[in-house]
A = this chain, B = another copy of it.
Amino acid sequence: MRVAFGGELEQLGVDLAAMCRLAGDAMEQATRALVGADLALAERVIAGDSELDVLRARCEDRAFSLLASQTSVARDLRLLVSGIQAAEKIERMGDLARHVAEIVRRRHPQPAVPPELCGTFAEMGRLAVHAARAIEHTIANPLQSQLVERERADDRTDELHRGLLTAVSRKDSPYPVQTGVDVALLSRFFERFADQAVAVTRRLDFVVTGTTPR
């Protein structure tokens, strides 16, 4: 019985890692689509999002059947509940990448962000993709906490987010209001992606340490 349990648990980890890879790829492509006003790439991100929804449902079903199997010990319970929560948050990361791509599509053939802000969005994108890759790595190596690095990257993302909001909404802003709205929402999507990555990392740490994440 424990052998079957172990195999199912391993498969849950494989699916979660696959979700991270997809969410990271989606944000990588969404950022490129944003910076390059690339409609085809944006469409690919939007169409690809359903794959994450399917994987998330599979993770959840697997975790629930393991929970119900009655062979789980306390650490397994934490792991399974964290797995359900992580799957939900990684799916959300994919949604946020899709939201970026949707704004790219809405503004096409115009770029959604002015050229002088593209560098900031490219950096937010790199931080987001790196976060997704780091979580994928943590799932395979759960004993190495990535929390400090994730929080540091999240602080940097918050800083970039505040900078973008100030750049577009200050009194002498050179931007039309539509650009201000697009930049504010896009920036918020990157910022929330980073927040979700921190939340997933806290859940993974919780499994190892047993300390409730706050």
Contact = CB atoms under 8 A, between A and B. Distances in A.
- Copies of this chain, count: 2
A88 interface: yes
Contacts of A129: none
Interface of A: 53, 57, 60-61, 64, 67-68, 70, 74, 77-78, 81, 84-85, 88, 165, 168-171, 173, 175-185, 188, 212, 214
A60 B178 CA distance: 42
Contact of A170 (B85, B173, B178, B180): B178
Contacts of A84: 81, 85
Contacts of A74: 68
A165 B181 contact: yes
Contacts of A182: 169
Q: Which residue, of A78, A180, A183, A185, has the highest number of chain B Cβ atoms within 10 A?
A: A180
9 contacts: A64-B212, A67-B77, A68-B74, A84-B85, A168-B177, A169-B180, A169-B181, A181-B183, A185-B185
Given A68-B74, A77-B67, A178 B171 contact: yes
